[in-house]
Amino acid sequence: MLEQVIFFTILLGFLISVLLSPLFIPFLRRLKFGQSIREEGPKSHQKKTGTPTMGGLMILLSITVTTLVMIGKFSEPTVETYLLLFVTLGFGLLGFLDDFIKVVMKRNLGLTSKQKLFGQIVISVIFYIIFRQSDFSTEISVPLTDLSFDLGWAYVLFVIFWLVGFSNAVNLTDGLDGLVSGTAAIAFGAFAVLAWSQDQYELAIFSVAVVGAVLGFLVFNAHPAKVFMGDTGSLALGGAIATVAILTKLEILLIIIGGIFVLETLSVILQVISFKTTGKRIFRMSPLHHHYELIGWSEWRVVVTFWTVGLLCAIIGIYIEVWV
């Protein structure tokens, strides 16, 4: 029964994204919701100017409908389901506002960093309040050890750091056609396996709903992309995967399973620190995917390589949790 639910969840998420895209992409184009490409980015990206963005709306609709329908078939939605959807849609709304300001109001930077951070913190704090009222554990376990720490009241700071950090990490990774769609599908697939192994079936269903939605989107987002997910999609996916990690109590394991997102973020941090302290850059350009483009790799080669590394990270994460 559960195996059938998982299969049809992926299928439904995939079909909703695939069927929506041919209708939604021309609509975005008519509204002139086209991506503006930063001049300081790789020159090869300038030809992408005008490609419809805000495609994350399709992903969010697919995830929401698929999750509610399929969990409703399996059982009644619980607080975990609503927490997942709250964070996903909350960060998605924040990303939508950012995209809207960029493409409609023609402010290429979108929301200011302070505005975006404030919104992310508010969503994270609301999540934490509901999380604690539902009596979830504030304990954190360290993979490959018997160590665990109960953070108590300080867990709210951890939640804020994790949700904000990973939503921004996935957002930084979203710079090449299909990069985030593929890596997100892999990471959520890994957490679906781990949630299943814990008998947390709602979390498994949500995770595979995301897998189906982003794979359906990937059909139109793969190089050359016909649509971009924008911050609407990337902020939502980052917040969602951090939430899944928290609810499965595999918070620290996300660093491994989401290794690509962590590496991309570290490349930006190291680049900034190096340039400010020494005046020299470590990478040709950050985030990391741009560095490989500028040393001569094709966009498709970079994306497939990062997918492969992401898959290895996911396999390692599953192995650590299930078999070690």
pLDDT in tens, 58-72: 999 999 999 999 998
Task: Decide which of 113 and 174 is more confident.
Answer: 174
* Nearest Cα residue to 232 out of 58, 34, 69: 58
Inform me whether the pLDDT recorded for 47 exceeds 90.
no
Which element (helix H / strand E) includes 150? strand 148-150
Q: How many residues does the chain have?
A: 324
Decide: 219 and 175 in contact? Cβ < 8 Å. no
Query: Which residues lie closer than 8 Å to 228 by C-beta, 6 or more apart?
Result: 35, 51, 52, 53, 54, 55, 174, 221
Record the tokens describing residue 111, joined without a space: 């929301």
Record the tokens describing residue 178, joined without a space: 């299909």
Which element (helix H / strand E) includes 79? helix 79-103
The pLDDT value recorded for residue 29 is 81
- CA gap 209, 59 in Å, rounded: 10
- CA gap 123, 166 in Å, rounded: 14
pLDDT band at 75 (very low <50, low <70, confident <90, very high): confident
298 in the Ramachandran plot: left (φ > 0), alpha (ψ -120 to 50) or beta?
A: beta
pTM value? 0.94
Answer positive or negative: Cα dihedral of 253, 254, 260, 262.
negative
pLDDT band at 5 (very low <50, low <70, confident <90, very high): confident
The pLDDT value recorded for residue 34 is 61
Query: Within 13 Å of residue 256, how many CA atoms lie on the same side as its CB?
Result: 19
Query: What does each C-alpha distance from 126 to 42, 120, 161 come to in angstroms?
Result: 39, 10, 14
The pLDDT value recorded for residue 119 is 97
pLDDT in tens, 220-229: 999 999 999 9
Most confident of 16-30, 133-147, 181-195: 181-195
Residue in the block written with tokens 């021309």: 26
Average pLDDT, the chain: 91
The pLDDT value recorded for residue 108 is 61
3-class secondary-structure state, position 101: helix
